[in-house]
Amino acid sequence: MRGRALARVRQARRNEDGAALVEFAIVAVLLFTLLFGIVEFGLAFRDRLTMANASQSAARVLAALGNEDDTDFQALSSLATTLETLPNSGVDVVKYVDIYLADTDGNPLGTCPATEGGGDRCTRFLYDPVADPICKWDPCPDPAIDPTYDGEGWPYGVRDVGVPDLDVAVVRVIFSHEWVTGAIVPLPDVSCTNPGNCWEDIAILRLEPKVFAP
């Protein structure tokens, strides 16, 4: 009888160990899912916050300078300073940057194409500080390097900096984000392999006045 009782105790313990292992497996899946979620969305939030700071900084410079001959270059230099905090200076993240004339809702008043180059009241800049470490942008808006640059698609000469008809300027950054667990967990594709799966950040500011009505 005693032997049977001990056998039953040992069997019960084995059953409890098996149940505990199953419970741990269930809890571990939930724990690792939560952990990966925290990491994923933390990195995504970092990228979005960095881009928001970069575009806002660039827009403030753009609004302050208005129609000066180095406005776009100074605005993009401010943006690049923030991008340099990202891995590889953000080269693998930023697709392009648009500077354009807009209405108060940020909608382009001209054409801002989804291809390289400019449009009407819009210039699209490609960012590559590795291939071009001096200027970092294509087209290059630095008057010291390209004195013919005059605002390209949105020329400095037509930017209205007079009260009360001040132009509204937008700095739009199109960028990607690579998920760490993208191959494991199905997350929205924001690799920026086509215009439909990119993230964007838009900063809208009215140009500061330089000409005042009498």
Splitting the chain (214 residues) into consecutive groups of 10 residues, what average pLDDT does each group show? Answer: 50 54 72 77 86 95 96 96 87 92 92 74 91 91 95 94 94 90 72 85 94 67
The pTM score is: 0.82
Which pLDDT score, from 0 to 100, does residue 196 have?
80
Q: What angle do CA 17, 21, 22 make, to 5 degrees?
A: 120
Domain ranges within the chain, ordered by starting residue? 2-206
Q: Rounded to whole angstroms, how far apart are CA atoms 49 and 97? A: 16
Q: Is residue 107 within 8 Å of 121, Cβ to Cβ? A: no
Q: Rounded to whole angstroms, how far apart are CA atoms 70 and 47? A: 28
